[in-house]
Amino acid sequence: MTTTEYDPLLRRIHWATAIIFIAAMLIGFYCGLQAPGTSPRRELLELHKSLGVTLFLLAIVRVMVRAATAVPAEPASLSPLVRLAARLNHWALYGVLFAMPVTGYMFSSAGGYSLRYFWTFSWPRLFAGNKWVEHAGELSHGLLAYLVYAAVALHIGATVWHSLVKKDATLARMWPAAGRD
pLDDT digits (tens, 9 = 90+) for 136-176: 999 999 999 999 999 999 999 999 998 899 888 788 888 88
pTM: predicted TM-score of the whole model, two decimal places: 0.89
CB half-sphere exposure, 97, CA atoms < 13 A: 25
How far is 143 from 127, CA to CA, in rounded Å?
20
Residue 179: what pLDDT? 47
β partners of residue 116:
122
Neighbours of 152 (CB within 10 A): 18
Cα–Cα distance for residue pair 157/133, rounded to 1 Å: 35
pLDDT tens-digit series, residues 85-121: 999 999 999 999 999 999 999 999 999 999 999 999 9
**DSSP state letters, 100-130:** HHHHHHHHHHHHT---EETTTEE---TTTT-
Q: What is the mean pLDDT of residues 127-134?
A: 96
